[in-house]
Amino acid sequence: MRVETVADGVHLVRASAVNWVIVDDGDAITLIDGGYPADAGALAASLAAVGRTPQDVAAALLTHAHVDHVGGLAALTRHHDIPVLTGETEARHARREFLEQAGPADIVRNAWRPRVLLWALHAARLGALRSVTLPEAHAAGTGHLPGRPVPVATPGHTSGHTAYLLPDAGVLVSGDALVTGHPTSPRTGPQRLPAFFDHDPEQAAGALDTLGTLDAGILLPGHGPAWRGTPADAVRRASRRAGGPW
C-alpha cells in the first residue's frame, strides 16, 4: 500500500490491485471507494497513515459497487457507523438488488488475452469471488462533505458509475470510467479498461465525453497512478488507444 498526497488534503491510496481516495478538510474526511475484501486492513492503515481513524470518516462515496471497490468498505462499515453514498442506481447495485460485474465465465472467455489469468488469480486471493454487499448504501447529496465532492454521472462501466470532481483541489476521481493502468494491460497512461469489464461498453465510451468537459488538473483513477493534466487531454489519449491490444 502506498499513500500519495496529490493536492492539499487529497490522498491517493494505491493497494496491490486497486486504488481509493482520502479527502481531508481538517475537520473530517471523505473516503472514496475502499478496495477488495482483503484490503480491509490496508484501508484502516491508510487512514492511520494520514493521521485519521474510522471515526473521522464523514461518509464513504462509491464510484461503483464492484467487489474491488467496496470489499474493504463492507468490513469498515460493519464496525463503524459510516454513511455510504452514491447515486440511486449504484446504491441499489451496492445493496445487491442486482449485480453487474465480470464473473468467472467472462474470465474464461478472455483467458486467451495476455495477463488476464494472472490478474484473475491475484484478484481471487484478494476476495474477488466473495459475495459483498453494503445494505445501507443510499443516494444523498455530497456538497456538505469534506472536499465538497461533486458527483458526475458516468454510466457504462456499471449502470450507475459516478466520478467525483473535487473543485477546490482541482482533482477528478474517475473510478473505472478512465484509468491509467491495470494488471491486464501492458500500457500506462490514460486508457479504458478492457471492454469485458464494462456492463455497457458503448455507454462507457460515451462517459469519456462527459469527463472531458470537466475542469481539473489531476486525475485519480480506480487503477493506476495519478495523472497530471486536464481531463480533456486524458480523454484524447485514452480515445487514441481505444481498441488496441491487451
Q: How far apart are CA 137 and CA 90, in angstroms?
A: 9
Mind listing the pLDDT tens digit for each residue in 187-205?
999 999 999 999 999 999 9
For residue 123, which amino acid is it?
Answer: A
Q: How far apart are CA 222 and CA 158, in angstroms?
A: 14
The pLDDT assigned to 111 comes to 87
Mind listing the pLDDT tens digit for each residue in 149-184?
999 999 999 999 999 999 999 999 999 999 999 999
CB 18 within 8 A of CB 223: yes
Tell me the three cell numbers of residue 199.
Answer: 456492463
Return the closest-CA partner of residue 215 out of 172, 161, 151, 186.
172
- pTM for this entry: 0.95
Which residues lie below 8 Å from residue 53, measured CB to CB, with a gap of 6+? 47
* Chain mean position to CA 41: 18
The topology (CATH level 3) of 2-130+148-241 is Metallo-beta-lactamase; Chain A (3.60.15)
CB 138 within 8 A of CB 45: no
Confidence of residue 240 (pLDDT cuts 50, 70, 90): confident
Report whether pLDDT(242) > 80: no
Return the closest-CA partner of residue 212 out of 189, 194, 186, 238.
238
Tell me the three cell numbers of residue 7.
Answer: 493536492
CB 193 within 8 A of CB 176: yes
Mind listing the pLDDT tens digit for each residue in 139-151?
999 999 999 999 9
Average pLDDT over residues 59-77: 97
Classify the phi-psi angles of 171: left when phi > 0, otherwise alpha if psi is within -120 to 50, otherwise beta.
beta
Higher pLDDT, 49 or 107: 49
Report whether pLDDT(224) > 50: yes
Helices marked H in 80-200: 88-94, 104-109, 116-125
Average pLDDT over residues 74-80: 95
**Residue-averaged pLDDT of the chain:** 95
Report whether pLDDT(243) > 70: no
* Structural domain boundaries in the chain: 2-130+148-241
Q: Which range (11-20, 99-108, 233-242) has the least confidence? A: 233-242
Backbone angles phi, psi at 23, to 5 degrees: -120, 120
Report whether pLDDT(244) > 60: no
The pLDDT assigned to 113 comes to 85
